[in-house]
Amino acid sequence: MPPQVASLAETTARSGRPTREQAQARQAELLDRALDHFLDRGFEQATIEAIAADVSMTKRTVYARYPDKAALFLAAVRRGIDRLALAPESIAATRADDLERTLIAIARLRIDLVSTPQGLKLQRIINTESYRFPEIFTTYYDVAARPTVRFLADVLQAEAKAGRLVIDQPMLAANTFMSMVVGGPVRFITSGHPLEPDEIEARVAFAVRLFLQGARPR
């Protein structure tokens, strides 16, 4: 048993019923370890038995919190998505004086997020399991992607109002930008064929320029 788990167990044993803080810590530990199991083994191969053993719980205790593996999977993936979500300050920090540099920074922010080990595993399991659990795709977009898309839409709308772009549907344009500029590199990364940093830079810069050429006034 890991030292931190043993310490928590000893404290609980001495005091009887766990405190709210202890219960919350155990709940977080269960979801974190369950997420690791699902990301490493996939939904089908991960088992409640192995997850319970990993956190020194009985299957009965796990099932008391989650009625089946699907419920535990959804809760664990949601926790992973929440942890992957960017703070508003991080998104706002992409804003530069130059629009092209702003768009490149926004694209790199999303690509870099998926490129982390945890982000890559999470993106892969969402891609793999969204046919079975379509809600995880929706949740991922709403929690992890929409704030950046919304910020980008505001940037594009401001540029359109200033007459520097011709965009009458900024949210649609922002989603199109993400598909066009971010989607390509992300597909390479998640497929197991990562691009070299300079190739990512070149692809993003080219796609941003192409997007701007299509959106600027004629």
Q: Read off the tokens for 167.
A: 């965009």
127 with 202, same domain: the answer is yes
Q: Which pLDDT score, from 0 to 100, does residue 10 have?
A: 47
Which DSSP string do the residues of 17-68 spell out, in sequence order?
SPPHHHHHHHHHHHHHHHHHHHHHHHHHH--HHHHHHHTT--HHHHHHH-SS
Q: Per mean pLDDT, which range of 5-14, 36-45, 76-85 is the poorest?
A: 5-14
Domain boundary among 82, 105, 132: 82
Dig out the tokens for 153 from the structure.
Answer: 């839409």
Does the pLDDT value for residue 13 go beyond 50? no
Q: Longest C-alpha distance within the chain, in Å?
A: 75
pLDDT for 16: 59
Query: What CATH number did the domain enclosing 36 receive?
Result: 1.10.10.60
Q: Which domain holds residue 33?
A: 3-82
* pLDDT digits 0-9 by tens, 187-205: 998 888 878 999 999 999 9
Q: Which one-letter DSSP state was computed for residue 119?
A: H
Residues 75, 96 within the same domain: no
**Tell me, what DSSP letter sits at residue 2?**
-
pLDDT beyond 50 at 1 = no
Judge whether residue 67 has pLDDT over 50: yes
pLDDT of residue 193: 81
Residue 68 sits in the same domain as residue 148? no
Residues 74 and 116 in one domain: no
Sequence-separated (6 or more) residues with CB below 8 Å from residue 98? none
Record the pTM.
0.83
Which tens digit of pLDDT belongs to each residue from 91-127? Answer: 999 999 999 999 999 999 999 998 888 889 999 999 9
